[in-house]
Amino acid sequence: MANTRSLPNATALRDEDALRRVRHLGSAREGLREWRLQRYTALALIPLGLYFVASMLRLAVSDQLTAAQWLSSPVPALLTILFVTALFAHAVVGLRSVLLDYVHTHARLEAAELLVRGAAILLAVAAVLAVLKLFLGR
C-alpha cells in the first residue's frame, strides 16, 4: 500500500511531467509578443495594401518608365517599403504559427523556422533594396 499513489497525486505528477516536456517549446514563451505583432502588422497591411493595390491598378496601364518615376518619389517609395516590411513580418509570424501546429519534431521545427525566417529576410531585403535603387537612382 505504501507504493500506490492516490489518483489526484498521480494526475498531478503526470501533468507536471507533461509541462516539463513542453516548457521550452511553442508559443508559451513569446505568445503575447507574436500575437501582438501579428495584429499590428495586419492593421498596418490594411491601408498599405489598399494603397499598393490601387497604385498597381493605376500603373498597370502605364509603361515601365512611368512606374520607375512613380517609385522614385519619396511617398510611394516609403509606403512601398513599409508595405513590404509589414507583409514579410506578418508572413513570418503566421508561418511560424502553422509550423508550431504541424511540425512535431524539435529539430525539424527549428530547421523549418530558420528556413522561413531566412527566406523572408532575404526577400524583404531584396525588395527594399530594389525600391531604394529606384528611389536613389533618380
pLDDT at 69: 93
CATH code for the domain of 64? 1.20.1300.10
| pLDDT beneath 70: ranges in the chain | 1-30, 138
Query: Is 3 domain-assigned?
Result: no
- Please tell me the total count of domains within the chain: 1
Residue 83's domain comprises 30-136
Q: What is the pLDDT of residue 112?
A: 96
Contacts of 117 (CB under 8 A, 6+ apart): 92
At residue 137, the pLDDT reads: 86
